[in-house]
Amino acid sequence: MAKEVTNREDNYSLWYNNLVIKADLAENSAVRGCMVIKPYGYAIWEKMQHTLDKMFKDTGHVNAYFPLFIPKSFFSKEAAHVEGFAKECAVVTHYRLRNSSDGKGIEVDPDAKLEEELIVRPTSETIIWNTYKNWIQSYRDLPILCNQWANVVRWEMRTRLFLRTAEFLWQEGHTAHATRGEAVEETMRIIHIYEDFAKNWLGIPVLVGLKTESERFAGALDTYCIEGLMQDGKALQVGTSHFLGQNFARAFDVQFTTKEGKLEYVWATSWGVSTRLMGALIMAHSDNNGLVLPPKIAPVQVVIVPIFKGEEELKAMLEKCGFIKQEIQKRGITVKIDDRDNLRSGFKFAEHELKGIPVRLALGPRDLQNGTIEVARRDTLEKQVLPQTDIADYVEKLLDEIQLNIYQKALKFRDDNSYIVDTYDDFKMQIEKGGFILAHWDGTLETEALIKEETKATIRCIPLEGDMEAGKCMVTGKPSKQRVVFARAY
Amino acid sequence: MAKEVTNREDNYSLWYNNLVIKADLAENSAVRGCMVIKPYGYAIWEKMQHTLDKMFKDTGHVNAYFPLFIPKSFFSKEAAHVEGFAKECAVVTHYRLRNSSDGKGIEVDPDAKLEEELIVRPTSETIIWNTYKNWIQSYRDLPILCNQWANVVRWEMRTRLFLRTAEFLWQEGHTAHATRGEAVEETMRIIHIYEDFAKNWLGIPVLVGLKTESERFAGALDTYCIEGLMQDGKALQVGTSHFLGQNFARAFDVQFTTKEGKLEYVWATSWGVSTRLMGALIMAHSDNNGLVLPPKIAPVQVVIVPIFKGEEELKAMLEKCGFIKQEIQKRGITVKIDDRDNLRSGFKFAEHELKGIPVRLALGPRDLQNGTIEVARRDTLEKQVLPQTDIADYVEKLLDEIQLNIYQKALKFRDDNSYIVDTYDDFKMQIEKGGFILAHWDGTLETEALIKEETKATIRCIPLEGDMEAGKCMVTGKPSKQRVVFARAY
């Protein structure tokens, strides 16, 4: 193998870190908790961005850009919001450095202290609603459907590449509406866009549901989420969409004149997905050979490897590879020829597997004679020798099949690891094995906190679909409207 | 008119600010020196991004992402670099807020002081070369051709929307090479990509040249630039490409093993364009009616305005407009129908002019009868009534013509405002009228500084093309290798 990756079964956490580093996705930087996203990792992120961006635009959203910095006083305006975010903020206090007195370096210039400290945005509700105040006067100014692609900073103490970093990249949508109904509709529209994207692009089946009060976004009335199940049986929150009610409009005094001439506060939503999607993608599908990428999100979908000895053989081979590449490219598929002359084919194969390239075509001297080609698929690691004729058509269909297979495998894994549990004893036993547990809960913060303390499991969501039957809380026996989903989570 | 804009001739600076605000491109935020880029402004920026990004990728570059923060100590490692940037940095000193003792707000938690302060990146050479150290061992690891799209912060004291803001968006390329020759070649490749983009997309003719030592990027051996001439006769630096030599490789100890087994320092370039391009675009072409956008960079290229009274008329009209829209869209052109029912056509026309939409089609009741349509072009404000037949073909050609005309108009303006001057007296007189002045200079820092002090003119560049004849410095009479370009600049 090109670069060794720890076995997933031996140490899942180390396997994940190994994979991120060795597949050249990202690495830790010299700045605590901040990562460098390497070109291959960034190329995957760009594919995610382009896809989501189109989905947002197709539903009437536009992009904009708001400042990186937020005046400290803005945070105090929404009480729940400040509680949620003040504890983990990077704070800018000065705007200049100077040569240090010992002449050996530079130091902060004490004369350049800001009158009011600036917070590096952990999320942008406050600065955006302060801006919307000037944009909104009448119902004719609504809705506002803005999104921004940006970096944000949350000073996390324990960080992990992609899953939890001090700085991360994300998109944050911030919409303003004339009615509660429209805002709720928008909140739902977005969570279903996220679901669609996770399922049909990333190949990750997700549960769509409502967060409990304790897991809600700081400042929201309702937080909807999509939750995925990783291969170690832990849940990962993949995206969230918040119905903010009139909280931020009140905090920043954003009112509008209705058609009827009345003055009312504006209704709001916000929603986001981040580079955490990269973590989800890696953990949901990869194996001990490396990444497994769904074709729709793979920067390189097909790699062609000529196997040759000497210049003469290479020349004939490259001509054939070039022809096949062209045929495949015509179908809108991204193909690369790996003709590096300093590496053995075995090494190359291992590297392509490590990087999760969905389809590998290999062409040896015998293939050249026989008009055949070896086709290897990354998801199942199966190989076949096929005639070169119609290989492009075959590859096109194969990519669709791989996309579907990756999803179905993940779906089967989730189904196999979802349990209906009725007693707290069973719950405690089951939670040790990982997976989603559907159980009844009495709806109180106390019971939720108790379960979390005793089992480290949290309520991932109150699902919107599936079994809606009422029952009794597994802990207190009090009435429960429907089963909720528990898991240990990232 | 929809919204009044100050006349360009009366107050160029106010005209510019008016235009940025009233065409909904950007506005000042609550954070000193930081702007909000509004959806329409951001849509133009996105078109610029997509075009440049493709140009970079077509020449072998890849995107990546490096941390927002740079440890303070990194800055001291390259002497010239720290001199250039330390004076204008946002400094993060703390990572937490807490409730203030008076219970009324929040304050910086003194217990959460960082051991080493972090600088919000003003540019990323230092953090990137610290990273490259781990990426580069052998000549086989080279070249590295990374670009990043990011926000950066430079604490400017006097800010102006798009032209000079504390936070701005940009791309920064950072490449690593095995030889001086390759790095120089890359520096030139990029400056010509920028030239191509400015000329053929933004419609701005630019001079390509070398910066003098005093105007060079802090840490570079050579800085190449493209310089545009704005309508008030002032120059604007539109983009720069730096040959960094081995400065950053030495500062961060980045060496590689050559093919021959020797250890050598890596050669570097860096290059960038920013949201300042928006300022250039606005100032180069716009007029007293508002923006004039080259079609290739306009978010909406054609707007169709139905002129109607009452529901019945509107219905027939919209059907026809829809058909024309479809025909135009088929040609890959972005079209919108403006069917807002609460605004008069005159108001709409003024708004479309303000926003610089290249072509406006208007359809009135008489047109519906006669099978005609009114075509208005933004660049010349000319109107024509044409048959509806083949209107899509006509519009397609018209857009090309407008793109060319905007460029040629700007080129003529530059030519009309470029002067060859041989004496310092003439220079002093001429500089008051604005424009580019080509004059001989003795190549010394002293003369350059004297001219700047006495006339506020700087050497914009030592041009790479044009008259290369030697002469005598207009100030000192000492020998000069070629004329250089002076101007007052933004």
| DSSP class per residue in A302-365 | EEEEE--SHHHHHHHHHHHHHHHHHHHHTTT--EEE---SSS-HHHHHHHHHHTT-SEEEEE-H
Among candidates B43, B64, B94 on the partner chain, residue whose Cβ is nearest the Cβ of A39: B64
Structure tokens at B98: 């807490």
A65 touches chain B (CB under 8 A): yes
Q: How far apart are the first and last CA of chain B?
A: 30
**CA separation for the pair B195, B206 (Å, rounded):** 6
Interface test with B, best of A49, A68, A107, A151 (most B CBs within 10 A): A68
Structure tokens at B380: 């010349």
**CA separation for the pair B58, B41 (Å, rounded):** 26
B46 touches chain A (CB under 8 A): yes
pLDDT of residue B309: 82
Contacts of A226 (CB under 8 A, 6+ apart): A191, A194, A195, A198, A206, A207, A208, A237, A238, A239, A240
Contacts of A422 (CB under 8 A, 6+ apart): A439, A440, A471, A474
How confident is the model over A408-429, as a mean pLDDT? Answer: 98
What domains sit in chain A, N to C, each tagged with a CATH number? 12-285 (3.30.930.10), 300-400 (3.40.50.800), 418-487 (3.30.110.30)
Smallest CA–CA distance, residue A278 to chain B, in Å, is: 14
Interface test with B, best of A37, A89, A151, A165 (most B CBs within 10 A): A89
In terms of DSSP H, where are the helices of A152-218? 180-200
Interface test with B, best of A97, A130, A154 (most B CBs within 10 A): A97
> Are residues A30 and B82, on separate chains, in Cβ contact within 8 Å?
no
- Residue A239: closest CA among A217, A212, A218: A217
> Which chain B residues contact residue A64 at CB under 8 A?
36-39, 42
State chain A's maximal CA–CA distance in angstroms: 82
Q: What are phi and psi of A175, to 5 degrees?
A: -115, 155
Neighbours of B359 (CB within 10 A): 26
In single-letter form, the type of residue at position A457 comes to A
> Are residues B86 and A98, on separate chains, in Cβ contact within 8 Å?
yes
Contacts of B163 (CB under 8 A, 6+ apart): B236, B276, B279, B490
- Residue B435: closest CA among B409, B460, B454: B460
Q: What is the H or E stretch that residue A409 is in? A: helix A391-416
**CA separation for the pair B433, B429 (Å, rounded):** 7
Note the pLDDT tens digit of each residue in A145-183.
999 999 999 998 899 999 999 999 999 999 999 999 999
Counting residues of chain A whose pLDDT is more than 90, the rounded percentage is 90
Q: Is the dihedral of CA B338, B343, B348, B351 positive or negative?
A: negative
Q: Are B97 and A76 in contact (CB under 8 A)?
A: no
pLDDT of residue A1: 44
Among candidates B38, B120, B155 on the partner chain, residue whose Cβ is nearest the Cβ of A96: B155
Nearest C-alpha in A relative to B165: A67
pLDDT confidence of A342, banded at 50, 70, 90? confident
> Are residues B86 and A96, on separate chains, in Cβ contact within 8 Å?
yes
A167 touches chain B (CB under 8 A): yes
> Which chain A residues contact residue B84 at CB under 8 A?
none
Structure tokens at A34: 């901040």
Interface test with B, best of A35, A63, A72, A91 (most B CBs within 10 A): A91
Q: Are A434 and A456 in contact (CB under 8 A)?
A: no
Nearest C-alpha in B relative to A46: B63
Exposure string for B409-445, b = 16+ CB within 10 A, e = fewer: bbeebbeebbbebeebeebeebbeebbbbbbbbbbee
Nearest C-alpha in B relative to A118: B31
Given a cut of 90, whether residue A288 has pLDDT beyond it is yes
B89 touches chain A (CB under 8 A): yes
Note the pLDDT tens digit of each residue in A470-484.
999 999 999 999 999
SS3 A35: strand
**CA separation for the pair B23, B173 (Å, rounded):** 31
Among candidates B36, B91, B96 on the partner chain, residue whose Cβ is nearest the Cβ of A94: B91
A66 touches chain B (CB under 8 A): yes
Exposure string for B69-83, b = 16+ CB within 10 A, e = fewer: bbbbebbbbbeebbe
In the stretch 137-166 of chain B, residues with CB closer than 8 A to chain A read 140, 146, 150-151, 153, 155
- What DSSP state is assigned to residue A287? B
> Which chain A residues contact residue B62 at CB under 8 A?
39, 42-43
Whose structure tokens read 């992009």? A63
pLDDT of residue A249: 97
Among candidates B62, B97, B134 on the partner chain, residue whose Cβ is nearest the Cβ of A91: B97
Given a cut of 70, whether residue A31 has pLDDT beyond it is yes
**CA separation for the pair B130, A30 (Å, rounded):** 8
> Are residues A127 and B94, on separate chains, in Cβ contact within 8 Å?
no
Smallest CA–CA distance, residue A170 to chain B, in Å, is: 13
Contacts of B315 (CB under 8 A, 6+ apart): none
pLDDT of residue A3: 57
CA A73 to centroid of chain Cα atoms = 31
Ramachandran category for residue B483: left, alpha or beta (phi over 0 → left; psi -120 to 50 → alpha): beta
> Are residues A69 and B342, on separate chains, in Cβ contact within 8 Å?
no
Smallest CA–CA distance, residue B170 to chain A, in Å, is: 13
> Are residues A62 and B43, on separate chains, in Cβ contact within 8 Å?
yes
In the stretch 398-417 of chain B, residues with CB closer than 8 A to chain A read none
Contacts of A6 (CB under 8 A, 6+ apart): A14, A15, A18
Cα-based torsion angle of the residue sequence B248, B254, B259, B262 in order, rounded to the nearest 10 degrees: 100
Q: How far apart are the first and last CA of chain A?
A: 30
SS3 B473: coil
- What DSSP state is assigned to residue A262? -
pLDDT of residue B100: 84
Among candidates B66, B94, B155 on the partner chain, residue whose Cβ is nearest the Cβ of A91: B94
> Which chain B residues contact residue A120 at CB under 8 A?
68, 92, 120
DSSP strand E in A8-130: where? 26-28, 35-37, 62-63, 69-71, 91-94, 97-99, 106-108, 113-120
- What DSSP state is assigned to residue B337? E
Cα-based torsion angle of the residue sequence A270, A275, A278, A279 in order, rounded to the nearest 10 degrees: -90
**CA separation for the pair A319, A342 (Å, rounded):** 20
Given a cut of 60, whether residue A2 has pLDDT beyond it is no
In single-letter form, the type of residue at position A85 comes to F
Q: Is the dihedral of CA A376, A377, A382, A384 positive or negative?
A: negative
pLDDT of residue B1: 45
Among candidates B29, B71, B153 on the partner chain, residue whose Cβ is nearest the Cβ of A131: B29
pLDDT of residue B68: 98
CA A10 to centroid of chain Cα atoms = 25
Neighbours of B314 (CB within 10 A): 16
DSSP strand E in A2-67: where? 26-28, 35-37, 62-63
Structure tokens at B204: 């701005």
Nearest C-alpha in A relative to B95: A90
**CA separation for the pair A160, A27 (Å, rounded):** 10
HSE-CB of B262 using CA atoms within 13 angstroms: 6
- Residue B55: closest CA among B191, B250, B229, B179: B191
DSSP strand E in A141-252: where? 144-153, 167-177, 207-210, 222-229, 235-245
Q: Are B208 and B465 in contact (CB under 8 A)?
A: yes
Q: Are A40 and A355 in contact (CB under 8 A)?
A: yes
pLDDT of residue B248: 96
pLDDT of residue B79: 77
Structure tokens at B155: 């604490």
Which residues in chain B come in under a pLDDT of 70?
Answer: 1-3
Structure tokens at A416: 């196999």
Note the pLDDT tens digit of each residue in A77-135.
887 888 888 788 999 999 999 988 777 788 999 999 999 999 999 999 999 999 999 99
Q: Are A127 and B125 in contact (CB under 8 A)?
A: no
Structure tokens at A117: 């400290």
- What DSSP state is assigned to residue B126? H
Neighbours of A268 (CB within 10 A): 29
A368 touches chain B (CB under 8 A): no
HSE-CB of B7 using CA atoms within 13 angstroms: 2
> Are residues A146 and B39, on separate chains, in Cβ contact within 8 Å?
yes
**Strand bridging mode A302-306 / A359-363:** parallel
Smallest CA–CA distance, residue A364 to chain B, in Å, is: 26
Q: What is the complex's ipTM, to 2 decimals?
A: 0.96
Ramachandran category for residue A311: left, alpha or beta (phi over 0 → left; psi -120 to 50 → alpha): alpha
In single-letter form, the type of residue at position A350 comes to A
B2 touches chain A (CB under 8 A): no
